[in-house]
Structure 1
Amino acid sequence: MSATPTDTEITRIEVGKGDAGRSIAMRVFRAEPASTLPALVWLGGYRSDMTGTKAIEVERHAQVIGTDCIRFDYSGHGSSGGDFRDGTISRWLEESLAVVDQATRGRMILIGSSMGAWVALRLIEELRGRGEGERVAGLVLIAPAPDFTAELIEPNLTEGEKASLSERGYFEEPSEYSAEPNIFTRALIEDGRHNRVMKGPIETGCPVHILQGMRDPDVPYAHALKLMEHMPSDDVVMTLIRDGDHRLSREEDVARLRQAINDLIAKT
């Protein structure tokens, strides 16, 4: 009998060496019999973990259609080791590469939520640079926030936040989703500049489906439209959800996510 998404066993891999080493927690579901469909790989958002609604629903859908699913937590998130304040896009990208190299057996569909969409786009860049771009069969980007540090944070910093970055190395802002404030470090912002993807044409070499809420208070839908403009050569579909927020975790939103996955699988 298959495990349910909430009790899929946690396994771990070690990423980095010495003081930079951290233990990354994964939940890997294997279809039986072995599937020829692409595996579903969940890439979560900033301060999110692999037990969120959408992540669990992705694994549940993988079980229904009979394919593998890989969920994991970045360092400083959920069940993984490491300090959240040490987190950068480069660090979380390194961990994502290690996970897909360890846990995927064939082609995969990357499902990136918010910041996870940025990680997904960088992951494809790295795989294509290694001559392994064909490993990615498709992309689902949910409320995508690529380049959010440079595009959404830096232009809107207050004088107080700039001073905090300079003096303390970070600033805080209230979170709508947690009692704990969001923390943005100088290291994250500086590293973000070196990982920008919307600096020219983006070529993924695979079909892409973007899901974006038009009432998203965190990532304006204009940001998703801008991303789409940077993908002139890809097969890109965008679904704008008029009353959708940033999380897109309602039942009807999850149904759209499942359909987007099915549409990409149909193209493989």
Structure 2
Amino acid sequence: MSTTPAEPTFLTVDGDRIALRHRNGRTPGVVWLGGYRSDMLGTKAETLDAWAAGHGRAFTRHDYSGHGESGGAFADGTISRWLAQSLAVFRQRTVGPQILVGSSMGAWIALRMVQELHKAGEHERLAGLLLLAPAPDFTAELMEPQLDDAQRRDLAEKGYFEEHSEYSPEPNIYTRALFEDGRANRVMTGVVDTHCPVHILQGMDDPDVPYTHALKLVEHLPADDVTLSLVRDGDHRLSRPQDLAMIVSALEGLVARAAELQR
């Protein structure tokens, strides 16, 4: 049996047609939140879907607008826009407690979802967070300090700049709107009260997100329920067989922890 539904279903959010795949199963379910320019059919998402299928666990994933099978223009995307889409998928396609698994930028989306769900009184929907090579606040923390004069000029005059991608033949595009909106969505400015277990996996050979960023993130999370696992030779993708096994193990630990807390 295929681990992936053959075709996605769609949800319209603020005019954007968002593609998603949902597997019914037991709770706590798992919600996948991908990274910048990634899609829901990547290695890590497929691995988690296969795990969910084998354990009868609910699993939900989607593509942000401008990504994968979703509609909309990539250049129109911002953290606020992708956050709204993720919350809509979460609220309309999942039931009961969920573990959010956020990869790279998806970890930023996950942390913002935590804040919005708590604000709305929906904290009981959160059973745990698994953050992979987390890149919260990456526009302000990791990119802006490194921008050269040409990139700053392009942002000011053209509204965007392009950068070579290590993962795609197409260049990455970063817009002025993304940077401005990113500042409004920063999470590493104070304590992020998750009120649920958090496990962070971070490669120490990550060329995109230094492991010191994960260490800094831990300072903003409640210290009594956070685990940080550093993978000495791990890169940003964390998609090698040994990385995938570690991700599954961490997820199983969060599922077990959620079961303990429900007793």
Q: TM-score band, normalised by the shorter chain?
A: over 0.9
Shift of 1:233: 4.4
Indicate which of 57, 70, 83 corresponds to 1:67.
Answer: 57
Matched, 1:201 2:191: yes
Query: What corresponds to 1:170 in structure 2?
Result: 160
Bigger CA drift: 6-15 or 114-123? 6-15
Query: What corresponds to 1:24 in structure 2?
Result: 18
Contact 2:194 2:222 in 1 (8 A): no
Whichever residue aligns with residue 26 of structure 1, its letter is L
1:247-266 matched pairs, under 5 angstroms: 247-266=237-256
Contact 1:8 1:29 in 2 (8 A): no
Give distance in 1, aligned partners of 2:189 and 2:232: 28
Structure 1 stretches of 5 or more lacking a match? Answer: none
Contact 1:206 1:234 in 2 (8 A): no
Structure 2 stretches of 5 or more lacking a match? Answer: 259-263
Deviations 1:138-160 (A, max 9, x none): 00000000000000011111000
The secondary structure found in structure 2 opposite 1:193 is: helix
Number of matched pairs? 258
TM-score, scaled to structure 1: 0.95
Indicate which of 84, 87, 92 corresponds to 1:97.
Answer: 87
Deviations 1:9-47 (A, max 9, x none): 31101101xxxx11000011113xxx2x31110000000
Give distance in 2, aligned partners of 1:14 and 1:6: 21
Whichever residue aligns with residue 92 of structure 1, its letter is W
1:62-211 matched pairs, under 5 angstroms: 62-211=52-201
Query: What corresponds to 1:222 in structure 2?
Result: 212
Indicate which of 4, 11, 14 corresponds to 1:13.
Answer: 11
Shift of 1:69: 0.4
Give distance in 1, aligned partners of 2:77 and 2:147: 20
Shift of 1:202: 1.1
Contact 2:202 2:211 in 1 (8 A): yes
The CA RMSD measured in Å over matched residues stands at 0.9
Deviations 1:105-125 (A, max 9, x none): 111000000000000000010
Contact 1:203 1:234 in 2 (8 A): no
Contact 1:139 1:207 in 2 (8 A): yes
Indicate which of 182, 203, 208 corresponds to 1:213.
Answer: 203
Shift of 1:226: 0.2
